[in-house]
Amino acid sequence: MALPIMAKATAVWLVDNTTLSFKQIADFCGLHELEVNGIADGEVAQGIKGFDPIANNQLTQQEIDKAEADAAYKLQLKYNPAAEGEQKRRGPRYTPLSKRQDRPAAILWLVKFHPELSDGQVSKLVGTTKPTIQAIRERTHWNIANVQPIDPVALGLCKQVELDAAVQKAAKKSAKEGSLMSDEERSKLVSTEQSLEMDTEAKIPSSISGLENFSLGENRRKPETPELDAESLFNLPKVEDDDEDED
């Protein structure tokens, strides 16, 4: 659903100038009902000036009257060409002053656990500049010794849905470029240290495994030891006595 320009300021105006329910205002402005309740109590949006949706061509008085008469009616945003593309901002997002000191920690987390993300994606997620990202990658940031990686979602710098979408997009791009390997191909890779430690002796191929008895130096077969038959040892020829020869 399309949202009005300056949604929170519009909600402030609707709370102050209409009898619409909190739910109607929340649905129209894309806020939580409790947040609208906080606006009415003065606890939320303090110092924000109301933004008139009628004067700014976002609502009509007839639409407001219809919603005031029926609590179940949902306000319909009037088409305004000026609001086209409001939700699709380009470039880094705005980061509140209170969270700007957390950006280096979030950048370090992203480049460490999601190196497939480009600098442009990291910039949009965290709301920073490419030189800062490059400094974190190269560990030349002025405060890199004190920076610890922290999930940007936990810091409130981006939403989990946005992070997942960026990671999936980067993975698809890497797969399309052919830079990803299957687990089977990766398991066959051997590091340089492992290859240097491998045995360099020549091994006999399995296809000629029957030629082990050949002497590699003389290229001839080793003499085979004749097999002995146990019966031939006990059936020796009979030897005549010397006395019989004398007779």
The dihedral through the CA atoms of 92, 96, 100, 104 has a sign that is: negative
Boundaries of every domain in the chain: 7-83, 97-176
Beta bridge partners of 221: 214
Rounded CA separation 153/159 (Å)? 6
Taking CA atoms, 119 is separated from 42, 48, 165, 183, in Å, by 41, 34, 15, 27
The three-state secondary structure class of 13 is helix
Beta bridge partners of 214: 221
What contacts 228, CB < 8 A, 6 or more positions away? none
Instruction: Give pLDDT tens digits along the chain (247 positions).
Output: 577 878 888 999 999 999 999 999 999 998 898 989 989 888 887 778 888 998 888 889 999 999 999 989 999 888 655 545 444 444 455 556 666 788 899 999 999 999 989 999 998 888 888 899 999 999 999 889 999 999 888 888 888 888 888 888 888 887 776 644 555 545 544 444 454 454 444 444 444 445 455 444 444 555 555 555 556 555 555 555 555 444 4
Question: What is this structure's pTM?
Answer: 0.38
